[in-house]
Structure 1
Amino acid sequence: MFATSFTGPLKRAVLGALAIGAMSLPAVAQELRFVHAYPVASQHHRNVEWFTQQVTERTNGEVTFRVFPSAQIMPINQELPGILSGQVAMTYSVAPVVASVEPLWGVFDLPFAFDVELDDMSHAAKFYASDTGGGVLASAMEKRGFKLVTIAPTDYPSSIYLTKNTAPKTLEDVKGLKIRITGGRIAQLTGEALGYSPVAIAGAELVPALSQGVVDGGILPPIYTLDNKLNLKGLMIGPHAWPATTPIIMSLAVFNSLSPENQKIMMDVGAELRERALQTVAENATKAVEELKAGGADVAYFSPEETDRWRDLTKSVWEAFVNDNGPEAQAMLDELARLRSE
């Protein structure tokens, strides 16, 4: 360092030149490692591609991404711990996995919590955007070191799909059957309340379980059923539960390291993806049901009366969710009811 000190006009000229030079320096790009477990041909990956491209463009390259699909780095149940350990920055996860870290995500297992139809996702959209809906989940995640960027589903809610050729139409058509669930306390309690036998089976084991008669059907969504060519011919369509809800979650520390402007861009793009994703679900789920019908499936829809009946019979499940998770769980249920009555 030079010992010489500048004074007067020379000092002002040197400081001005340094300031101009500093302003002209390009911003340092921040590359985020983004992992997910879904194949590149999936809607999940298309959503990730759109999100990362938009953020990169709108931040003028200050935030970039390196995406690892298909569980290249780690299985889906290790992604959230991987975020906390600093191995990766972001993931496109799924509600049951997130619920293992934050039980409030069990709200998506609650029977008939979301009053949505194949072509109308507005109840879910309002809940996700609400301070006492998605906002409760976001706050809970921040306490655990995560930032909830958005909730962007890729399928319609799950309902009762059976291997037999006749669609169930009432609760009596389902009682006593062995029905596959993804797991979790809420799904187990729901089956017990409604009188069918819930059997937890991993997705990789579902096809042989159906073909070998281990279960009579499952709580499944239409797009997944079509894409995986599941041997299910009796379908009762309705928003029975939504365990396949998929959020984008990132490290809170990494999010806080972004500039305020880039944080806003990240969240704005997330909100736009949420709306795009719900619209895509509405379009693709309707097409999927039509294709399932064309492939020989017998399709029925939950009537309003049957929906009310199933919801009434599972009040104990909702109560258990609140007892397990406290005032925040009750706040979300109150918000779901308020939005349903709008």
Structure 2
Amino acid sequence: MASFDTQEHQHIRYNPLKADWVLVSPHRMKRPWKGQVEKPEENSIPRFDPNNPLCPGVTRSNGQITPNYESTYVFTNDFPALLEEGPDYESHDNPLFRCASAKGTCKVMCFHPHSDLTLPLMTPSEIRAVIDMWVEIYADLGKKYDWVQIFENRGAVMGCSNPHPHCQVWASSFMPNEPAIKDRTQREYYQKHKVPMLVDYVKQEISKRTERVLLENESWVWLVPYWAVWPYETMLLPKRHVPSLTDLTDAEKTALADIMKKLLTKYDNLFEVSFPYSMGWHGAPTGSKASQDNNHWQLHALYFPPLLRSATVKKFMVGYEMLAQAQRDLTAEQAAQKLRDLPDFHYKLQSGEK
């Protein structure tokens, strides 16, 4: 009987943030693929498109004109999932048919006026402007709402229908499911160990288990989490205890812009494509929940890319994943090694593209 090897043999890994497990099956990477393939991402995106509502000076579907912005630009989503006003729901006692009022607002944030740019092709100072606006929006909406979710869906395969560098910010009167679970698990860990879970986790990853660490600078660590589900899922964390975006120092924001450019460049270089992903920030809750003790929280960004084997073959979350639990083939350590070995210089710039 061969000795157990996590890079060869199937096993399950525990995610302490979500209190669940992922099945890891590295031997499945050897199987042939005859399933669906995705269309390659469009490469010829114009810098300005008069029909693109996110471009400066273009009239949107509601008749409003997007101003001639030169850096970042934020506006209320023309088709929001959450509205600020609405009648309150009178709750009932039936535990099988519970309902509650939901209020909030949805913002769209453009990173740059040029449609043909993405974050890894922007300069560090331009990325820093994006970070500054994230902090400003988080602080502003956090005065009224209990949760502020900043997220970016990049690429058509992730449902992004607009090829313009942008993200969304949804603020809600309630704590959504994912952060609510993390609030509980991090609080329990803090109460038991007297240190925030992710502060402890980062310390161990960079000092004892460096096989999953991809990049680090004076303030930040980018790694593939031990419990990753998506093939090239990664997590970006500060080295010191930082509960939320508003707690970042000026130097940490500058260092964040630097490491973001490098990490997203590596993503694009993996399959030499504008790498699709969904990403978002998780930090301490806001609004009425900001007054409670949130020292158990540690700020972190999550990147969930769907691509598995190439620019056209993605990971599907179906069947077993929907009915049983998450499953992955490529191990976290194998994914980290592939990303770590990639060049830091963007392939488009290497080939002379602008």
Normalised by the shorter chain, which TM-score bucket? under 0.3
Query: TM-score, with normalisation over the residues of structure 2?
Result: 0.25
Bigger-Rg structure (1/2): 1
More relative contact order in 1 or in 2 (CA 8 Å, sep 6+)? 1
Query: TM-score, with normalisation over the residues of structure 1?
Result: 0.25
